[in-house]
Amino acid sequence: MAMQRDRRWAGGGTACRTHAVGLLAAAIVAMGNAAAQSLRFHGNGYSAPTLDRVVIALDAPARPVDVGSGDFTLEFWLRALPGENADAPACSADNDRWILGHILLDRDVDGPGDHGDYGLSLMDRRLAFGLSVGSSGATACGATLVDDGQWHHVAVTRDAGSGQLRMYLDGQLDGSASGPLGDASYRDGRDSNAPYDPTLVIGAEKHDYATLSWAGWITELRLSGIIRYPSPFVRPPARFASDAATLALYHFDEGMGTLVADSSGAPGGPSHGERRYGGMPAGPEWSQATPFDGVFADGFD
């Protein structure tokens, strides 16, 4: 009987150890999610309507993320692997030319513009930033290839008084254009039949027209109501912190679920976003890849 009791104990011990290993594995997975520092998009675009993107509401009620009525700065970090965004034509200064690129940020409007719109994309492997007010607009074209597998800091500014558009890559001026004057924000209460019209979309064209989408990583998106960079600068060495000029700030560090939180604390906020996960391969995925660490979780350094 003693031997039988020992065998039963040994078997129970094995089961306990197996259960413990399972719990440990689950804990490791949870910690991995909790360590997320960015989102990895896969460029599904209109082949996966409304998916593989982040959607941020601008209206009803109006939110501070809706920049464009005055000066503003959009900045973030991106990383793209060679060949993943190679289908777009070359950039030109034409109005709305940026729409033909692999779209990073889309704050377009459906139909004739009554205030304005803007967007940022990758064209011919370079940045393109465009802004329109009514039927007048321009696109600033970047000069530097960015799809090299490395992290790059991107900042675009708009001077509402002069219309000047500037685009900085890793702190250096990479392109500029003379844009229109006037209010480029999304008009509060704008009448539109397009369900995603009153949104800012990250990683895809918001209306799912037959355009190109972004494949790569994005992190640390900050929208500010000032021109933060009037001249070349040293690229930020750490994650952004909110200040009085910050209107929206996304760290992309939630690691699970659909919420993409705005941590700016801006009055009238928060301007939270929604992670719309799906497509083939499914995205955007939570990722541990970060520009502030020498080794990335996906094996690239």
| 3 has pLDDT over 60 | no
Q: Is the predicted pLDDT of residue 144 greater than 90, yes or no?
A: yes
* Average pLDDT value for the chain: 88
Are residues 107 and 190 in contact, defined by beta-carbon separation less than 8 angstroms?
Answer: no
**Is pLDDT of 34 > 90?**
no
For residue 30, give its domain range. 1-34
Nearest to 117 by CA among 95, 86, 89: 95
We report the CATH number of the domain holding residue 140 as 2.60.120.200
DSSP 5-34: HHHHHHHHHHHHHHHHHHHHHHHHHHHHHH
The reply to whether 121 and 18 lie within a common domain is no
Please check whether residues 25 and 77 belong to one and the same domain. no
> Do 57 and 202 belong together in one domain?
yes
Q: Residue 4 above 80 pLDDT? A: no
191 in the same domain as 102: yes
Residue 104's φ and ψ, nearest 5 degrees, are -90, -50
How confident is the model over 55-77, as pLDDT tens digits? 999 999 999 999 999 999 999 99
Please spell the DSSP secondary structure of 204-234, one letter per residue.
S-TT--S--B-EEEEEEEEEESS-S-SS--P
Place of tokens 């409304």: 50
Residues 25 and 121 reside in one and the same domain: no
Residues 12 and 145 in one domain: no
Q: For position 16, what pLDDT does the model report?
A: 41
Over the stretch 204-248, which tens digit does the pLDDT of each residue have? 999 999 899 999 999 999 999 999 999 999 999 999 999 999 999
**Entry pTM:** 0.86
Residue 295 in any domain: the answer is no
> Given pLDDT bands bounded at 50, 70 and 90, which one contains residue 2?
very low
Residue 293 lies in a domain: no
Residue 297 located in a structural domain: no
On the question of pLDDT at 250 being above 60, the answer is yes
Which residues, in sequence order, are bridge partners of residue 53? 276
In sequence order, the β-bridge partners of residue 216 are 41
- Predicted pLDDT of residue 242: 98
Which amino acid does the sequence have at 219?
T
111, 93, 89, 90: which is closest to 207 by C-alpha? 111
Query: Does residue 289 have a pLDDT over 90?
Result: yes
pLDDT at 141: 98
Q: What confidence score (pLDDT) does residue 123 get?
A: 98
Residue 129 lies in a domain: yes
Contacts of 118 (CB under 8 A, 6+ apart): 68, 105, 107, 129, 130, 131, 132, 158, 184
The answer as to whether 250 is a domain residue is: yes
Give the closest residue to 73 by CA, choosing from 15, 132, 131: 131
Indicate whether 294 pLDDT > 80.
Answer: no
* Residue 301 located in a structural domain: no
Q: What is d(CA 239, CA 210) in angstroms, rounded to the nearest whole number? A: 34
The CA-CA-CA angle for residues 236, 237, 240, to 5°, reads 60
Instruction: Decide if pLDDT at 17 tops 70.
Output: no
| pLDDT given for residue 169 in this prediction | 98
- Is the CB of residue 79 less than 8 Å from the CB of residue 151? yes
Mark whether 23 and 47 lie in a shared domain: no
Number of compact structural domains in the chain: 2
In a domain? residue 299: no
